Chains A and B, each alone.
Chain A
Amino acid sequence: MAKILLINPTVREEDVPRHVPYGIALLAAIAMEKGHLVQVYDENAWRQGDETTKAVCVADDWDIIGYGGITTTYASVKRIARIAREYAPQAVQVMGGGLLTSLPREMMSWIPQVDVGCVGEGFITFPEICDMVDRGGREFWDIKGTVSRKPGGGLIMSQMRPLMHDLDSLPFPAWELFPLEEVYFKNSQVLFSEEGMLASRRLDINTSYGCSLICRFCYHLGIAGDMRYEEDENGDLNVAFDQPGTYTRSIRYHSPEYVGALVKHAYDKFNINFIGFLDENLMTMDKFSGRTWMNDICNQWHDLGFAPKANDDGTWTGIHWAGTSHATLCTKEVLKTMREAGCSHLVYGYESFAPHVLKTIGKGATRESNLRSFFWTLEAGIRPVPNQIIGFPNEDFDSIRMNMHAWDDLGIQVKPHFATPYPGSEWFTTYRERISGQYDGDMERFILDLGDASSISAVISHNFNAVELLGLREAMLQLNYRRIDEYEQIWRKNHQIPDGAPSTLLSENMTGAFLRDADKVKSAIKDSERQDAVAETTGAASTH
């Protein structure tokens, strides 16, 4: 059996660690189920510095050291790879996650210590790599879903790994290998609702994969059917994701019975009192299932006795929970059902309240559906978490003022994110040259600069530069319409745009391209009485 060390890289150092890495916890469970010897070093949780990472690397004779994560773990992953090569030179280094998947060839080039990358979903690929290493093999190109190094130099991408269909065959995540008591439960609080604020033993679960929508700033990690393999300009195989006019999706979700059993396991073993659903978009699954999935999960909550009950002293028993919703896909009925089962808050990517911006972002939401879902959610007794973004390609002074008015009218307290073209998103593909130009052609610098989009990195707005966006956001937070009006006059003068004309530099061709695809999403959502409508329109396939 292979001796495997999995390392969870450090991310968001400015904050405390809040989330057990679900993917690593699943891979650890899968590898153990296959009989391998597994240890986890949660560097992000412990934050013990390089000396401890070095000590971990020499603590045993590792056959495999695996690491990976989201794009913003890049700096940490690069450091771990260097340490691992120096202190555990015998170990095969395996990298995976959204970070590797979005740019497999670049990552293998920027991090030369990686022996094999796991492209896309690792549930089958990773254990196959472990088995091969255990047998003494190193022909990773024989395993689907890998990128590895040719013996004579260069990279080989093997065939694409199909997505796993029988999700319920997955074991439960190996939460016990992470410092729950020492770190994670202390950071259980989620400041999105009263119940979230009082959470003291929270775990997160992921119960579905995929999203039917085509938000152009979204990256679906290559596990939502969003990834294709194509030959690049050099004739080499490479990954491709959403592109204007080309969208593919696969909608997969666990059965409500699996979800119930998973939560029961978390409760029985760890005595949790709050669950965070990590799912990309719970409402996609609900619609896809013909409006049964969410209802059945809520029934599981009731049947297992987890639906919260209020105590006289203001506290409650049971397990509250929270997740993600969608303005157009949610219904008044499902929100009510969710609240009765203990849902405390739902994250809505409203992004903007400006109709002309919403039309271009591929979200399938309108100002009206944003407002409707906002009130439905409040009426159901759930707190909506109204995420906002500024700096979209066609952001202009009108959209900025529309957002401010909406925040003012709706009591929204928000500091918006900046539209950020994460690798793997459509806007990364569309704006790649523009992004590269902002980092002197050094794409690695861009990756290192990426955070959680609350700070600014590459700008994709056609109308505003980074400094303008930072200033505008500050004025928006203060609802300072006067300053914004004043700056608009300066901006118009600088760009020779007369009063009365739209305050935009975006070409009509580009706006038209965005609007064409937006109509596609809109018609899919309107036609959603049939549960497979979204799949047909976006080329998605459903699996359950």
Chain B
Amino acid sequence: MSNDVLRGNFQTRDKVEIKQSEETLEDRFEMEAKKRLGGSIAFVSKKKVMWDTDKK
């Protein structure tokens, strides 16, 4: 397996390597919870929280 995201029939001038996935525990949790969303399964997606409550 190659680390290069480009695959072809010649060598490119620059190599573009795969960025390793930076999945956090938070990402993983939210993805798993979303699969079972409904009924008592509910969660807060922290990246979408509007922290500045005064504006509301």
Contact between chains at A59 and B7 (CB < 8 Å):
no
List A244-289 residues whose CB lies under 8 Å from chain B: none
B12, A59: Cβ atoms closer than 8 Å: yes
| Contact partners of B13 in chain A: CB under 8 A | 59-61
Per the bound structure, the CA–CA distance linking A178 and B10 in Å amounts to 15
Selected contact of B7 from candidates A51, A61, A176, CB within 8 Å: A176
Beta-carbon contact of A40 and B6 below 8 Å: yes
CB neighbours of B7 from chain A (8 A): 39-40, 42, 176-179
Closest residue on chain B to residue A45 by CB atoms: B5
Shortest CB distance A370–B (Å): 31
Option from A39, A40, A179 in Cβ contact (under 8 Å) with B10 = A39
Is the Cβ of B12 less than 8 Å from the Cβ of A60?
Answer: yes
Q: How far is the CA of A58 from the CA of B29 in the complex (A)?
A: 36
Q: Mark A173-205, 1 if CB is under 8 A from B, else 0.
A: 000111101100000000000000000000000
Mask, A27-58, CB within 8 Å of B = 1, is 01000100001111110001011011001101
Per-residue B-contact encoding for A412-436, CB less than 8 Å = 1, 0 else: 0000000000000000000000000
Docked Cα-Cα span, A58 to B5, in Å, equals 13
Structural contact, B5 and A56, CB atoms closer than 8 A = yes
Which residues of B sit under 8 angstroms from A51, Cβ to Cβ? Answer: 19
Interface size class of A (residues with CB under 8 A): 20 to 34
Given known A-B contacts A60-B13, A61-B13, A38 and B19 have beta carbons under 8 A apart: no
Q: Which of the residues A37, A48, A181, A182 comes within 8 Å of B8, measured between beta carbons? A: A37
Chain B residue numbers with a CB within 8 Å of A60 are 12-14
Q: Which residues of chain B in 4-24 are interfacial with respect to chain A, using CB atoms and an 8 Å cutoff?
A: 5-10, 12-16, 18-19
Could you tell me the distance between the alpha carbons of A5 and B16 in the complex, rounded to whole angstroms?
A: 13
B25 within 8 A of A: no
User: Cβ of B8 and Cβ of A52 under 8 Å apart?
Assistant: no
Partner of A59 from the list B1, B6, B9, B19 (CB cut-off 8 Å) is B6
Cα(A52)–Cα(B16), bound, Å: 7
Closest chain A residue, CB of each to CB of B1: A181
Number of chain B residues close to chain A: CB under 8 A? 14
Q: List, in ascending order, chain B residues with CB within 8 A of A49's CB.
A: 19
Chain A positions 134-160 with a Cβ under 8 Å from a chain B Cβ: none
Tell me, in angstroms, the Cα distance from A40 to B5 when the chains sit together: 8
With a CB–CB cut-off of 8 A, which chain A residues contact B5?
41-42, 46, 48, 52, 56, 179
Q: Contacts A40-B7, A41-B6, A182-B1; is A46 near B18 (CB within 8 Å)? A: yes
A465 to chain B, nearest CB (A): 24
Tell me the complex Cα distance, A56–B15, Å.
8
- When chains A and B are docked, how far (Å) is the Cα of A384 from the Cα of B46? 41
Q: From B8, B9, B13, B18, name the one whose CB has the most chain A CB atoms within 10 angstroms.
A: B8
- Nearest CB in chain A: distance from B14 CB, A: 4
Nearest-neighbour CB distance to chain A for B15, whole angstroms, equals: 7
A177 touches B8 (CB 8 A): yes
Closest to B19 in A: A48
Residue from B9, B10, B15, B19 within 8 A of A52 (CB atoms): B19
Q: Which residues in window 388-431 of A have CB below 8 A to B?
A: none
Residues of B within 8 A of A178 (CB): 7
Residue from A32, A55, A56, A182 in contact with B9 in the complex, judged by beta carbons closer than 8 Å: A32
Decide if A59 touches B15 in the complex (CB within 8 Å). yes
Q: Is the CB of A56 within 8 A of B16?
A: yes
The complex places the Cα of A60 from the Cα of B16 at a distance, in Å, of: 10
Q: How far is the CB of B32 from chain A (nearest CB, A)?
A: 14
> Which listed residue (A55, A176, A181) contacts B16, Cβ 8 A?
A55
Chain A, range 13-37, C-beta contacts under 8 Å to B: 28, 32, 37
Q: Give A381 to B43 CA distance when docked, in angstroms.
A: 42
Residues of the A chain whose Cβ atoms lie less than 8 Å from the Cβ of B1: 181-182
Within 8 Å CB of B10, what residues of A? 37-39
Chain A residues with Cβ below 8 Å from B6 are 5, 39-41, 56, 59
Q: List chain B residues, Cβ under 8 A from A42.
A: 5, 7
- Can you pick out 12 interface pairs between chain A and chain B where the beta carbons lie within 8 Å of each other? A38-B8, A38-B9, A39-B6, A39-B12, A42-B7, A46-B5, A48-B5, A48-B19, A59-B6, A59-B14, A60-B12, A182-B18
Interface residues of A (CB under 8 A from B): 5, 28, 32, 37-42, 46, 48-49, 51-52, 55-56, 58-61, 176-179, 181-182
- Per CB-CB distance, the 3 closest pairs between chain A and chain B, nearest first, are A39-B8, A177-B7, A59-B14
Known: A28-B8, A38-B9, A40-B7. 15 other contacts (CB 8 A): A38-B10, A39-B7, A39-B12, A41-B16, A42-B5, A42-B7, A46-B5, A46-B18, A52-B16, A52-B19, A55-B16, A58-B14, A177-B8, A178-B7, A182-B1
